[in-house]
Structure 1
């Protein structure tokens, strides 16, 4: 068992999803704004990338589950249990000693077939998403979702730690570095919120499969399909699949299954 320790970073304090801001989060009983689930997933996978490097970016799989909140600037540790040369489990423990997230991580030696782009209609600049509801998700399941375009690169790329020097070298944003999991999984959050307006909402779990590394200054096209939306114990949940494609080649970079609470109980 190995441990990696660091300090959490709230990568979305000004998000339209105000659960990441202190004011609304405290109304729901949290100590402050929540560190995004995609950021926590990056912490869970960080030790694996340190070991597997580019192999992870080409065939890595992760099933990341968030069970309790993590807060900005909170100290945490990630313990990893390497079960074999190609498989490990990781657990994130917060500053209070509570396990708040866990992941099953592996290198897939038998990759599934790469998803093919459908060429869904790209979102228009004037589009305003309808309010999320069980009925709206059902409509989108039948009629299809808007595709979105996202850019990895620029002067201020999304990082999951406070300094790029803390990231594995292969993920440091430069011409020789590649997109990190926080950005890639973030694309699934952004396309979800772009198709139906939610505030607040909570990311619970992602299952992701890498196919190709995403180089600096790459445009990705995200396409989404609805699996199911349902109510349980007063919360309303949404389960979707998102595929990310290189805009130039249409090669699939990552397949993501995302589970979230889109409407909290009594909200």
Structure 2
């Protein structure tokens, strides 16, 4: 059975204007050919998550699968439409802004969450000193250390505002938004090197348990790819996102350009 889902519209917000990643800064982003600072991909993905959560509710937060690929930038303050069409239990999602396709993805609800063992994803201490990013920063097969993050109380409310999320399920049931799990995936990269401007280009996330508001969240990540393509340097991560040191929250595949072409050539 196929059917269109009501369009979800947000006014995009660049949460990272002051972040270390200067690709979110208007001036720097223009040097890379963009119109201004990019809204983080993890936040665009958070917009996309609204669609399957509206459809399946808490069940999606407990075992949903979502994939996203970022095609063109979403800019601060722009009206952005998230469209969904369901076919045989899979929702195809498109993000449109400025009349352009900015992101694509799919979401589905498996009958059960796969079982993954925390023992297969060892806890690794973060690097003692971050060094400027290079081709050796993320070596294939390397386990990357990271520091956990917590969004509790006001921070949890602030996050929901940042990603323009008004679904009452999070406050009503004391749940953490799954977009936070994507933020800790980005944090792994930042915790292991001093990055210049960089770009998150895509992710696949299988949720395993619903995150609780205020959980201490960390990604235990292994580098599965480090390569050059069209002048860009890419890194791919396979990670288990863990809550409070004990609960598997999501299995993630994360892809980023850690050295964009213009920078790599500098």
Q: TM-score, normalised by structure 2?
A: 0.90
Q: Distance in 2 between matches of 1:67 and 1:160?
A: 24
Question: 2:169 maps to what in 1?
Answer: 170
Residue 216 of structure 2 corresponds to residue 219 of structure 1: yes
Equivalences for 1:108-257 in 2 at 5 Å? 108-117=110-119, 118-123=121-126, 127-138=128-139, 141-157=140-156, 159=159, 161-162=161-162, 166-172=165-171, 176-248=173-245, 250-257=246-253
Q: Is the 8 A contact 2:63 2:207 kept in 1?
A: yes
Question: 2:79 maps to what in 1?
Answer: 75
Unaligned runs of at least 5 residues, structure 1: none
Closer/same/farther in 2, CA of residues 145 and 226 from structure 1, 3 Å limit: same
Q: Distance in 2 between matches of 1:61 and 1:68?
A: 23
Closer/same/farther in 2, CA of residues 163 and 231 from structure 1, 3 Å limit: closer
Unaligned runs of at least 5 residues, structure 2: none
Q: Distance in 2 between matches of 1:152 and 1:20?
A: 22
Q: 3-state SS of the aligned residue for 1:128?
A: coil
Equivalences for 1:34-113 in 2 at 5 Å? 34-84=38-88, 86-94=89-97, 96-113=98-115
Q: 3-state SS of the aligned residue for 1:190?
A: helix
Q: How far did residue 162 of structure 1 move?
A: 4.5
Q: Is the 8 A contact 1:145 1:225 kept in 2?
A: yes
Q: 3-state SS of the aligned residue for 2:189?
A: helix
Q: Distance in 1 between matches of 2:77 and 2:188?
A: 27
Q: How far did residue 24 of structure 1 move?
A: 0.8
Q: How far did residue 115 of structure 1 move?
A: 3.7
Q: Distance in 2 between matches of 1:143 and 1:154?
A: 35
RMSD of aligned alpha carbons: 1.9
Q: TM-score, normalised by structure 1?
A: 0.89
List structure 1 runs of 4+ shifted beyond 3 angstroms.
Answer: 160-164
Closer/same/farther in 2, CA of residues 163 and 184 from structure 1, 3 Å limit: closer
Could you give the per-residue CA deviations for residues 128-162 of structure 1, whole angstroms, max 9, x where no partner exists?
A: 32222222322xx4553213211131422352544
Q: How far did residue 41 of structure 1 move?
A: 0.7
